[in-house]
Amino acid sequence: MHGHGGYDSDFSDDEQGGGSSKKRKKTVEDELLLTKPFQKEKYGKVAHKQVAADLLDREEARNRRFHLIAMDAYQRHTKFVNDYILYYGGKREDFKRLGENDKTDLDVIRENHRFLWNEEDEADMTWEKRLAKKYYDKLFKEYCIADLSRYKENKFGFRWRIEKEVISGKGQFFCGNKCCDEKEGLKSWEVNFGYTEHGEKRNALVKLRLCQECSFKLNFHHRRKEIKSTKKRSKTKTESDESPHKNSRSSSSEEASQGKDEGHSSSKRSEDSRNRNAGEEDSASDSELWKGPLPETDEKSQEEEFDDYFQDLFL
């Protein structure tokens, strides 16, 4: 019995249970009708551990990718090296790069540079030789820069001038010794430069512009050949050589001019005579016009002309 004083029935619980089950069926059917074909299923329970682990790995990979993109190449390299040592073990000295065989462009040029390039040297050209040849082509090979620090041992060093030295006048308007900047009393010298290069002995004639003190150092053991300006002498010689030719040319030109003058005078005379004749004819015609009226000429009629014509035919 219930507390309200009414009677209790054994079928009341069954009726209530039946109604709830019907409601559940209706809700399930309604959900099936309302679901769309592209709609995902609803999880009514906790996700599996593998799904959660995959999501975490994906998020971690995204963060790592953004972190690596923010680094430069060197920072990425150090990070990978540190991670390798941390996970797989080893020493950091194993990853250090040996710089013994490293060469800069200057080292390559020093190894393959030549004072003078021949056709034989350009036969087998590697990229190192091409780089040295390109540097050689940029040098100015008129005057040299000398190193006279070991002049007492009769040992000298020569090199060609670079663009900066050519612009400043070093070696031409200033002393060619690399440790001297004197610009007065310069003399030009021609030196037979003998040198060994890549195991070969070679010779080259070199021009130098040195001051008096540096010229003394250059000629300490024996005197070199001095180059003197021979422009004035050459001019006087050429003038003396060309004088007979000039005389002959002047005489021939005078004869030709005389002949031309004679020709011009004769042509002028003929033209004058022609002009005189034309003037006389014009004056005669003018005088005849003013003498009187022109004589009248009898013009024949057309019949008279025909008669004369036929008369000649029938004779």
Rounded Cα distance, 179 and 193, in Å: 20
Which of 41-55, 128-142, 277-291 is predicted least confidently? 277-291
> At a CB cut-off of 8 Å and minimum separation 6, what does 5 contact?
none
DSSP 276: H
**144-154: pLDDT as tens digits:** 999 999 999 98
Average pLDDT over residues 29-44: 71
**152-196: pLDDT as tens digits:** 998 888 988 988 988 999 988 999 999 999 889 899 998 888 888
**95-138: pLDDT as tens digits:** 777 777 788 888 898 888 888 888 888 888 888 888 888 888 88
> At a CB cut-off of 8 Å and minimum separation 6, what does 279 contact?
none
Confidence of residue 277 (pLDDT cuts 50, 70, 90): low
Q: Measure CA 65 to chain center.
A: 42
Phi, psi of 238 (to 5 degrees): -65, -35
Rounded Cα distance, 191 and 144, in Å: 10
In 3D, which of 180, 190, 191 has the Cα closest to residue 213? 180
Average pLDDT over residues 53-68: 92
- pTM score, two decimals? 0.43
CB 197 within 8 A of CB 160: no
By three-state DSSP, how is residue 85 classified? helix
In 3D, which of 157, 120, 113 has the Cα closest to residue 135? 113
What pLDDT is stored for residue 1 in this prediction?
Answer: 47
Residue 146, Cβ density class (10 Å: 0-12 exposed, 13-18 middle, ≥19 buried): buried
